[in-house]
Amino acid sequence: MKKCVMLYDDSLRFSRAVYGAFVLIAFLIHSHWLVLAISILMLLGTFSMNLNLPYRFHVVFLKKKSGNKKTALVSKDPGEVNFVSGMTALLLLIGFLFVYFGKYVDWAWIYILIVAMLIFLACFVGFCVATLMYVLFKKLFRGR
C-alpha cells in the first residue's frame, strides 16, 4: 500500500515562491550567508513539512485569514516532497560552499541564479526538475 501525504497545493507553491524570492535577493545583493540560511531552512523542510516555515505560515495564517473553503489538497508521495526539498537545499549548499571558499565565485553566483530560476519554474509553471529526478531514480532502483 502506497503511503501518501495530503498537502495544500497553494501553500506548497507559496513556499517555493518565498524560497525562490529569497535566493534571488541573495543573488542580487551577493549575500552568501542568506544562501546558507535558505539552504538550512529548506533542509529542515526535508525532515518534516511542519518545519517548512513558509508552508506552515501560509497554511496557518493566510489560509485561515482568507477563509477560502476551496483549498486544493493534493496527494503527494512523502519521499518525493522530501527529495525535492533536500535536493534543492543541497544545490544551494554547494553554491554557498563555492562562494564561501572563493572558488569560481562568479560561476557560483550564476549557478545560484540558475537554482533560483529552477525554483521559480517549479513554483509558477509546475515543472520541477527534482521531481523528475525522483521519478527517474525511483524507476531505476525499483527494477533491481
Q: What is the pLDDT along the chain (144 residues), one digit of tens a residue?
A: 457 777 877 888 889 999 999 999 999 999 999 999 999 999 998 888 888 888 888 888 876 665 655 667 777 778 888 889 999 999 999 999 999 999 899 999 999 999 999 999 998 988 888 888 888 888 888 865
> What is the per-residue pLDDT for 13?
87
Angle at 19 between CA 111 and CA 100, to 5 degrees: 45
What's the rounded Cα separation, in Å, for the pair 38 and 41? Answer: 5
> What is the per-residue pLDDT for 126?
82
User: In the chain, where are the structural domains located?
Assistant: 5-142
Contacts of 119 (CB under 8 A, 6+ apart): 16, 19, 20, 23, 88
The grid cell for 87 is 535536493
> What is the per-residue pLDDT for 71?
64
Give pTM, 2 decimals. Answer: 0.85
> What is the per-residue pLDDT for 69?
57
Instruction: Reduce the secondary structure of the chain to three states and give it as a string.
Output: CCCCEEEEHHHHHHHHHHHHHHHHHHHHHCCHHHHHHHHHHHHHHHHCHHHCHHHHHHHHHHHHHHCCCCCCEEEECHHHHHHHHHHHHHHHHHHHHHHHCCCCHHHHHHHHHHHHHHHHHHHHHCCCHHHHHHHHHHHHHHCC
> What is the per-residue pLDDT for 30?
94
> What is the per-residue pLDDT for 66?
58
